[in-house]
Amino acid sequence: MPRTRSTKGATAAASKDKTTTTPDTPASTSLYTLPSAPPNPPKLFILPESATPKARIITLQNPRYSRPARYLVCPTTGFYEFTKITTPSPSSQPRSWLLTPSSSSSSLSASSTTIQSPDLFLATPYDPLFLILPALATPCKRMFLSPDDHLDALPNPDRHLSNILTCESTRKLVERRMAVICDTVEAGDEVMYRLNEAKLLSEIISKAKKMAKDLPKSMEDKFVKKALEAPVMSIKSSQAPLPALAPPSLPTDESSADLDTQSAAAASSSSSSSATTPSTEMSESQLAATSTAATSVASRDDLEIISSSLVPSPEVLSLQRLRVSFSFILSSYLPPSLSAALKTQLPSQIDFKELDAYLDTLQKLRQEAAASRANDFSGKRTRDEEEDERLEKKRKLAEEEKLKKANVSRGVKKLAKVNVTGMKKMSDFFKKK
């Protein structure tokens, strides 16, 4: 595939304001005749202001999913990943972009254009250390190698990587990031690198801490508030119960676009991360959250009024935020094998005891709530079959006993009460035959 020169001269004008974003294809539509649809329809990108005209969109291997993905590489400001933002539901409505120049004075028809696809691609800063991680974290014995040897281990389908690494500043950037997570030795005039997992862990924890400071609202709602929310044990009668509405998992409306650049990425990949890595803690808590959301009868607004039985402390909240951030980074940027190893090492760095204790009590409360609800509504027995069998036997025995008793005459019952002291048994007088 040829190099895509999508960001021609006007890139510098790009900013967070949508109306000034740059079209990446020349406007070539006629007013009156409908040309055949181009094989590669134009797409809308938002590029960072800091990206220089020398920036290129290249194809590299995504370290997490081992699939080719597009990245924006600028020799001076570094790497950017693209996050696709799809239209929010209702998606059945056809949508498209209308792009016009920023000044409204010029004629509308002259330089404005429409783009059929409603999707938006947002370039967000990307740490190149994630790109080289698959090469560093080889399952076999890790050795001190030169950066070139490491980079040669990366899959390089279109030789884009080797091309961009010819640029001196980019190469320096990659080596600098590599040094952060590697042990180094100098061999002659060359520096050799070997992955140090402890360094990687602390680097990721620092990233997670930064992210936890300002968690996007969608993640805060779903993974922090919902996950730590105690079940409502009793609903006051004055509060009319409302149907539970889970917050939209893909906050792709305009407000989220204004958020931190991480926000969009987090939102779009949060669903995929939980789907692809069901073993991560985040997805577990997410499962718990969704299960309670299903049984919960009060909406979040009501919960603020109704006193909840358990309120998380600020420490617990921040710990949960940190854990969510950490899981998110692991599950969206790191190779699965490496993220599993790091996950086990996390508790050694950060003390989660307080959060775990809270989650334990929460789990118990939820079970109680679920049990009480199950009793309230379904009345179904949850006993296992063995117990059922035992009860059935017991019932049969009792029934037989009852039948026997019913078949006892009154005279026999009366005789049972007779005092027989001093009376010998019949078998003492008469011998058995």
Partner 1 sequence: MLEARLGEAAEFKKVIDAIKDLVQDCNFDCNDSGVALQAMDNSHVALVAMLLKAESFEPFRCDRNIALGVNLTSLTKVLRAAQNDDILTLKAEDAPDVLNLVFESKANDRISEYDLKLMDIDQEHLGIPDTEYAATVTMSSAEFKRITTDLIAMSESVTIDVSKDGVKFSAQGDIGNGSINLRQHTDLEKSTNSVEIELSEPVALTFSLKYLVNFCKASALSTRVKICLSNEVPLLVEFGLSGTSYLRFYLAPKIGDEE
Spatial neighbors of 23 by CB under 8 A, at least 6 apart, are: 42, 44, 99, 113, 115
To partner 1, the closest distance from the beta carbon of 404 in angstroms equals: 8
The owner of tokens 């990031």 is 177
Residue nearer to partner 1 on the CB measure, 34 or 418: 418
Encoded tokens for 416: 């049972």
Residue nearer to partner 1 on the CB measure, 1 or 406: 406
Residue nearer to partner 1 on the CB measure, 353 or 405: 405
To partner 1, the closest distance from the beta carbon of 417 in angstroms equals: 8
To partner 1, the closest distance from the beta carbon of 405 in angstroms equals: 10
To partner 1, the closest distance from the beta carbon of 398 in angstroms equals: 19
DSSP code string of 164-219 = HTTSHHHHHHHHHHHHHHEEEEEETTEEEEEE-HHHHHHHHHHHHHHHHHT--HHH
Residue nearer to partner 1 on the CB measure, 31 or 423: 423
H helix or E strand, kind and range, residue 51: none
Task: Report which residue type is found at 119.
Answer: D
To partner 1, the closest distance from the beta carbon of 403 in angstroms equals: 10
How remote is the C-alpha of 304 from its chain's centroid? 25
What count of other Cβ atoms lies within 10 Å of the Cβ of residue 290?
15
To partner 1, the closest distance from the beta carbon of 412 in angstroms equals: 5
Residue nearer to partner 1 on the CB measure, 381 or 404: 404
Residue nearer to partner 1 on the CB measure, 379 or 411: 411
Spatial neighbors of 95 by CB under 8 A, at least 6 apart, are: 87, 118
Residues of the shown chain interacting with partner 1 in the complex, contacts defined by CB under 8 A:
407-412, 414-416, 418-433
On whether the CB atoms of residues 115 and 97 are closer than 8 A, the answer is yes
On whether the CB atoms of residues 316 and 228 are closer than 8 A, the answer is yes
> Residue 147 and residue 151: Cα distance in Å, rounded?
6
Residue nearer to partner 1 on the CB measure, 166 or 419: 419
To partner 1, the closest distance from the beta carbon of 406 in angstroms equals: 8
To partner 1, the closest distance from the beta carbon of 414 in angstroms equals: 7
CA-angle at 120, arms to 53 and 224, nearest 5°:
115
Encoded tokens for 269: 């990949």
Residue nearer to partner 1 on the CB measure, 380 or 417: 417
SS3 82: strand
Residue nearer to partner 1 on the CB measure, 377 or 430: 430
To partner 1, the closest distance from the beta carbon of 418 in angstroms equals: 5
What is the strand order of the sheet 56-61 is part of? 44-46, 120-126, 78-85, 68-74, 56-61
SS3 58: strand
